[in-house]
């Protein structure tokens, strides 16, 4: 039996294991015909913004620049922001590592 979404103890599996399971039978294209969309991890943007901006306008300009640079070859750019719920994969990973 595969525990793709959870461990035998009922904890959610880590994202790397889940991704490996999902990608196991996927054929990989050597070259994409057209890049039409970019999905940007909004939380990673938070870590890339330096704390030296004095105003929200400066932060917004920096973030917009990063987003537009990442999606410059796309017809569409989506920025995804998430939160970690109490019963999430991230919380389960931290629990397995013994982190708070």
Ranges of each domain in the chain: 28-97
20 or 4: which carries more pLDDT confidence?
20
Distance CA 93, CA 100 (A): 10
* Segment of 12-21, 63-72, 89-98 carrying the highest mean pLDDT: 63-72
Closest to 48 in 3D by CA, of 62, 37, 38:
62
Asked if 91 and 15 touch (Cβ cutoff 8 Å), the reply is no
Longest Cα separation, the chain: 54
Under the banding of pLDDT at 50, 70 and 90, the label for residue 1 is very low
Q: pTM higher than 0.85 for the full model?
A: no
For residue 67, is pLDDT > 80? yes
Q: Give the Cβ contact number of residue 52 at 10 Å.
A: 7
């Amino acid at each position: 039996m595969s525990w793709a979404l959870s461990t035998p103890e009922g904890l959610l599996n880590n994202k790397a294991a889940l991704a490996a399971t999902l990608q196991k039978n996927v054929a990989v294209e050597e070259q994409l015909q057209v890049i039409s969309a970019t999905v940007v991890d909004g939380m990673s943007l938070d870590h890339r913004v330096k704390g030296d901006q004095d105003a929200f306008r400066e932060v917004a300009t920096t973030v917009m620049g990063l987003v537009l640079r990442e999606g410059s070859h796309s017809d569409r750019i989506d920025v995804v922001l998430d939160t970690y719920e109490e019963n999430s994969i991230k919380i389960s990973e931290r629990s397995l590592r013994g982190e708070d």
